[in-house]
Amino acid sequence: MDQARWADRGNIVHSEDIEELKLKHICHTCIGEQHLSDEVRTKGKRGKCSYCEKTRRTFTLDEVAGRVATAFEQHYYRTSDQPNDYEHMLQRDKELSYEWSRHGDDVVYAIQNAAEITEDAARDIQSILEEDHSDFDSAAMGEETEFASGSYYQEKNVSDSAWREEWRRFENSLKTEARFFSRTAAAHLAAIFDGIDELRTGEGQPLVVDAGPETDFHTLFRARVFQSDDKLDLAMSRPDQQLGSPPALLAAAGRMNARGISVFYGANDPKAAIAEVRPPVGSKVAVAQFEIIRKLRLLDLTVLKNVQIRGSIFDFNFARRLERAQFLKSLSGRITQPVMPDDEPFEYLATQAVADFLATESSVPIDGIIFPSVQVAEDLLNVVLFHKAARVETMEIPNGTQIRASTGHSSNEGWEDDYSVIEEVPPALKVVKEQKDTPAWPDFAAMPALADREIGSDQREPALRVMPDSVWVHHVEGVVFKTDEYQIRRLRWEKDDRSPF
């Protein structure tokens, strides 16, 4: 379509003719844009279309013009009719053959292309909108107004500035105002995450994925640091109790949980699991693989950056959804950004609130979050399973069984590391599947402050099963850091008027 001819043709419509244009009708079949066409078909009145002369459901041209004006306000901007400073510089350069042309599309073409209507209908709508947006003062000064003949329009870049500002206020409110009961925070998180299971990436990947049996995501690795062999012996003997999620009283605060909220942190690779526990040199790390034994739903933060929203500019909620999608693209980085140890109590508040909301208040059932590893500079993944999905199934060990763990033995050449676990089962005792748990954690019931609390009354359905033969012990002999290096330049100046300081 030749855009230039619209700018060259006269398009002056007297104000007395505008009212006649507003009363013209356009039918849904003369509008190619699906959302706008559907609205005319469902809400319009039967009448004769002024463009195809068929009797169908129609809107007045004034109604369509109003929708075009709103859509353009949200998604387009009128470009300048003058070169900017850089373009002026290019024009003044005699060695360049630069010819300036106005950015964007002619207003009539922009309307025609957006609504997918004929040139005549687009020109009539432009005339209506030009009249609606004109004013005496601008005309007297020769200033161009919105939808003026010869004006040009270009699509806006999507901005998430409003969402970023809301997130900043959300973080600040948690730190300085209300930490536990904040309707503002809850409303903000609901706006971000409601319906997130319906979103897709450009390649069709869902943001909420299935994990567990018969899925690609069915096992996790979890690590724990040990600085004494006595505690390591316990973990080797009962990895279900010692390498799974800790009891509430031992649950330290983390990126995705407040202190006392027991969750399961795991990884898709042993390397990531070890890195996340930050073991000191000389320590030992036990790593076990856990099988996910029931279906779980996980929010995958790693694909947020590729989220894509499809819709119509004539859906007046579309702009808000686009801005939300733009914000979601940066959310993974906000949630997983490295935090210095001294800053963790404050800087983890937002991510802990996000996890709590998704675990308990979200309209979309979510059992955990997949997020990139902060400690490993590779494409390795961490997973947090919320409290409701963090229970590890108890190992089937017959009552009366004695378990002995060994970390090695002495030989003629000295100590040799050799890890093993031996279960001694009474010969006359049958294996009882339904048995009472005998936790190897401290005897909390013996503590006076907890004497009246019922221990071992966990009603959660197990979601994980340890694989006993998967347990390995890693000796930490050194730590490797990946860094970016910057040299410091040192200068010395004599103090005078030329000093840059």
How far is 203 from 307, CA to CA, in rounded Å?
Answer: 9
* Nearest to 302, CA basis, from 194, 217, 213: 217
Is the Cβ–Cβ distance between 486 and 289 less than 8 Å? no
Residue 144, pLDDT > 50, answer: yes
Mean pLDDT is lowest, of 114-118, 127-131, 391-395, 454-458, for 454-458
Q: What angle do CA 160, 166, 169 make, to 5 degrees?
A: 145
> Does an H or E element contain 445, and which?
none
User: pLDDT tens digits, residue range 177-202?
Assistant: 776 667 888 889 999 999 999 999 98
Sign of the C-alpha dihedral, residues 178, 184, 186, 192? Answer: negative
Q: 485: helix, coil or strand? A: coil
Mean pLDDT of 473-488: 90
Mean pLDDT of the chain: 87
Residue 75, pLDDT > 50, answer: yes
Residue 295, pLDDT > 90, answer: yes
Residue 438, pLDDT > 60, answer: no
Residue 377: its pLDDT value, please? 64
User: pLDDT tens digits, residue range 344-400?
Assistant: 777 888 888 899 999 998 888 999 999 988 787 667 899 999 999 999 999 998 888
How far is 120 from 30, CA to CA, in rounded Å?
Answer: 11
Residue 442: its pLDDT value, please? 56
Residue 331: its pLDDT value, please? 86
Which residue matches tokens 């244009």?
Answer: 21
Q: What is the pTM of this model?
A: 0.78
Mean pLDDT of 157-168: 90
* Nearest to 407, CA basis, from 304, 298, 284, 291: 284
Q: At 456, is the pLDDT very low, low, confident or very high (cuts 50, 70, 90)? A: low
Q: 341: helix, coil or strand? A: helix
Q: What percent of the chain has pLDDT over 90?
A: 58
> Does an H or E element contain 174, and which?
helix 161-176
Read off φ and ψ for residue 407, nearest 5 degrees: -100, -5
User: pLDDT tens digits, residue range 305-334?
Assistant: 899 999 999 999 999 999 999 999 888 888
Residue 453: its pLDDT value, please? 43
Residue 136: its pLDDT value, please? 80
Cβ neighbours around 142 below 10 Å, total = 6
Is the Cβ–Cβ distance between 395 and 437 less than 8 Å? no
Residue 466: its pLDDT value, please? 96
Read off φ and ψ for residue 404, nearest 5 degrees: -120, 125
Residue ranges of the alpha helices (H) in 266-384?
A: 270-276, 318-336, 344-347, 349-360
Residue 1: its pLDDT value, please? 43
